[in-house]
Amino acid sequence: MGRIETLIKNYERDVGLPWQQNLAGPQKVWFAVYDKADERRLRARIGEFEVATKHTGHNWISCDVTDAFANWMSAEQYATSYYDVPDDLQTTLSEFVEYVSGIVAKALNSPGVDEQTVVAVYGVASLYGFMRISQLVSTVERKIKGRLVIFFPGVHEGNSYRFLDAREGWNYLAVPITSDEGVRER
């Protein structure tokens, strides 16, 4: 079985477990961790995660942030000047973090989202270099009603996550769902 098939199987196993309702926001976050080389394979099969979610009796809302930077930049008043002096972009990246957080918050507050809904965020590889995933999660974690799953291209070791295998890892309370074979203890 391939890595994405195993990730789907492991995801379905975890989404099908009984959900505790009295968790804090950070404990309602899942990271579906996959090898960065599998980005296209994962995206081609994102619908299978939705099917697995619905198969277990839960709802699904997807949130693709792939085009977030391009959309944000196209609305920026000084976008063309950033091409001339890219370092000037650093002064407005906090606005970009707010923009992306707003996209995810909108999905978390969509009509019909409740304690039995998975909000799935994918396309986060396109955020690399502009923001950290930990920033995104800490900004929206209080808005999570059901579960937030972030499709995370990177590595999970112990309690540490490394985005695209490139940055130093950070510890986070998120539940990891990986493409590792076998049963994982909680």
pLDDT higher than threshold 90 for residue 63: yes
The residue with greater pLDDT, 132 or 13, is 13
pLDDT at position 148 is: 97
Give the pLDDT band of residue 157 (cuts 50, 70, 90): confident
Mean pLDDT, residues 104-116:
97
Residue 165 lies in a domain: no
User: pLDDT confidence of 182, banded at 50, 70, 90?
Assistant: low
Instruction: Give the CA radius of gyration of the chain.
Output: 17
* Residue 9: HSE in the Cβ half-sphere, 13 Å Cα cutoff: 12
pLDDT at 84 over 80: no
* 154 pLDDT more than 60: yes
- Angle 14-172-118 (CA atoms, 0-180°, nearest 5)? 35
Q: For residues 81 and 49, what is the distance between their CA atoms, to the nearest angstrom?
A: 41
pLDDT for 183: 45
Q: Does the pLDDT of residue 28 top 90, yes or no?
A: yes
What element of type H or E holds 66? none
Answer yes or no: is 150 within a domain: no
Residue partners of 92: CB distance under 8 A and separation at least 6: 76, 78
Residue among 52, 61, 47, 48 at smallest CA distance from 15: 52
Instruction: Name the pLDDT band for 77 (thresholds 50, 70, 90).
Output: confident
In a domain, residue 60? The reply is yes
Residue 76, in any domain of the structure: yes
In a domain, 67, yes or no: yes
More confident position, 94 or 42: 42
pLDDT of residue 159: 75
pLDDT at 185 over 50: no
> 186 pLDDT band (50/70/90 cuts)?
very low
Query: Rounded CA gap, 151 and 33, in Å?
Result: 6
Predicted confidence (pLDDT) per residue in 32-57, tens digit: 999 999 999 999 999 999 999 999 99
Number of domains in the chain: 1
Domain span at 57: 3-15+23-144+170-177
Question: What is the per-residue pLDDT for 132?
Answer: 87
pLDDT in tens, 114-134: 999 999 999 999 999 888 888
Give a yes or no: residue 66 inside a domain: yes
